[in-house]
Structure 1
Amino acid sequence: MDYRISRQIDRYRARISRFVETHLLPLEGNPANYDTHENIRFDLAEELRAKARAEGLWCLQLRSENGGQGLGRVGMAVCYEAMNRSIFGPVVFNAAAPDDGNMMLLEAVGTPEQRTRWLEPIASGRVRSSFAMTEPMPGGGSDPSMIRTTAQRRGNTYVITGRKWFITGADGAQHFIVVARTSDDPRRGLTAFLFDRNDPGWRVERRIPIMGPEEHGGHCELVFEGLEVPAENMLLSEGDGLKVTQIRLGTARLTHCMRWLGLAKRCLEIAGSYAAERSAFGARLADRESIQMLLGRLAMDIEIGRLLVMKAAWALDQGSFARKETSMAKIHVANLLHNAADGAIQVNGARGYSKDTVAEWIYRYARQARLVDGADEVHMMVLNKLLNAEGPDFWSWPVAES
């Protein structure tokens, strides 16, 4: 296998790294640069987004005709990792969830009219978006077949009724995608629709307080009380909602992993630099075998994560759904991120537990990684199902045609 990246991708990586070093890292230590939910103040983010656009580092994930740079999934893996050396990185480059996944979905399945109406404003940075699928009990979470929100057809309109929760970014979003039940068919019972924040018949019930720092727009509970959506706002066709979610979540899970690798590397950086400077009992921490083992293990696990992510990204670029590869990456990198943040705090001692570094921010943020876009256990069940179906071929190599 050829693990070399193109010169174009490497140039983007280097430019992003310089941008992060110059414009983003210096901001993290000043509390005035954060909003009340511990993310970058959005007016400050807007200034930085303008700089990123001016430098041609905007929307790497989209094709050029849709306002992007057309780097593909492999290029994204390299560049997203570089972006998230800073906790402020992804939003500045328009590569943060949920806009990231929503844009890729609209590019993949939207009609030309839908891409003009719904994708272009997100890609340009004029509006933010949200993806409304998860529901409170007894509705659907990791199992979309349990979705109870309904969309009843009345002529050329669908009337949506139900409730969603933990919907990322909903408090500040203008464009929404909602998944609702249009029939009881186990495979074709769901349909996805686009709607605008100003459409009547729905509301944000509450912004749910969470353990860690939040994406802009928070994680919200939504109530639908007769939202009317025209049929032209349907993604694909009636009954294709499960297909839409698979397209949306498959790549979005992997982009989470790409970003988390950047945060894991930042944690290792924080731990390593402190260990090199701090001495106790006559020796630097970096000279202690226990510290060397901790940092060496993290370095190895980061590289394992990079290889898993890159294999999945390559498979997506080849047209595969990469279910197996993405589930493996999701499990490994989510746990890696937690371990890296925990290790950084442990090496730094009380300093790590304080807000003098971003390690504590990453630690609190990291706990959600094992839950979002499918809990660890769900992905392990997916892998076991594939193992039972494929047997020894579970580990097969792709074979070149010539």
Structure 2
Amino acid sequence: MSPRPAFVLLTAMLLVAGCVGSPVENTGTSSPATGTTEFGTPLTETTTQQESTLPSGISDDGQINSSNLLFAHEPALSKTGYEFEYRSVSETDGEKATVVSQWGTVAEGRTSFERYAEYASDSSQKRYQAHLWANDTVLLTKQDTDEQVRYTERMQTEPLRHELASVGTLTRILEAILGSGEFEVVNTDRSDGQSLVTLSATEPTDETQFENVTNFDATLVVDSSGRVREFHRTVETDRMRLEQDFELTLTAVTSVERPEWAEKARAATAANIEVETTKHAIELEHAGGETLSAGSTVRIEHDGKTHVREFDRPFKPGERLYIYYPADGSAPVLAAEPAAVAVERIDGSYSMAVLDSNGNTVTAMGLGVGHSDGTDSSSESS
């Protein structure tokens, strides 16, 4: 019996997964009042007898509840249109290592939005760019690496909508920042009918997240509706430096146009290809969707070598294919049956993509495979 992976971890590339609860409202004696947003849309709010200028999560005496702040941020943004920019620069031992940039536009009500992302690493000398567009029914992505451009289309589901909700709000990063410092209220101002509360922290809450911290400085600006308008964090240790900046601008945009490459993404074959590993093979299972036609390809990278293997016949739902490396060191083989010859052990890191006959990406992932006491241990990220 072939050993099966001890665990498989699958995370969606380009998406920042997170779980955000319901907004927590301030309490007090209230009466309904009707106002107007900056977009001219009627909005029903509640006002206390003495109007509060503080967002949910900040009490009148300056106490800060990070969870309530986080819970208020994403729902408040769902009511408005906005643009955002984020940049992260990390340095190790005084040398720039990784730069991550994200920017985009979100329509009012989150009916449509787009996000651009760039990743550059000095250690690998590679760049990665992605453009994501989504509405209520579909998610389109364009991935541009040093080697090629890939397009995908996915129909919306509730879990996917939930994941996408945190993409433009940077919920996961915001949660990490709020939990990393001892924040206090240092300033309150007003702009465009909103109170802007500035929070600041100069001490980390838990130095196990960043070992041997020598400098910590974090600032957040939150409006009275609970939207985090901007944040900045600098962390320095004896070996690394991290700079993060985020800025959000409210706009009146009600719709984000589809990108010009949308038809290329729509042309991609919709197939659910599942991947498993054994000691001697990477197995592809067609778990459902459209048939991949002959001429589709598998692109696999391992130990600095890249190989492309072409399907010599259609790959249909319910079928399985095997990728293995012959023991003589020759190129990997894509076959409909397990290897009948001596093969190398599947071990280490692999980067793999399945493309349809038009060159559109069906699935792409990274694999990390290790072995101990006859049991495989693998992880995946797509």
Normalised TM-score (structure 1): 0.20
Report the structure, 1 or 2, having the larger helix content. Answer: 1
Report the structure, 1 or 2, having the larger strand content. Answer: 2
Larger Rg: 1 or 2?
Answer: 2
Normalised TM-score (structure 2): 0.20
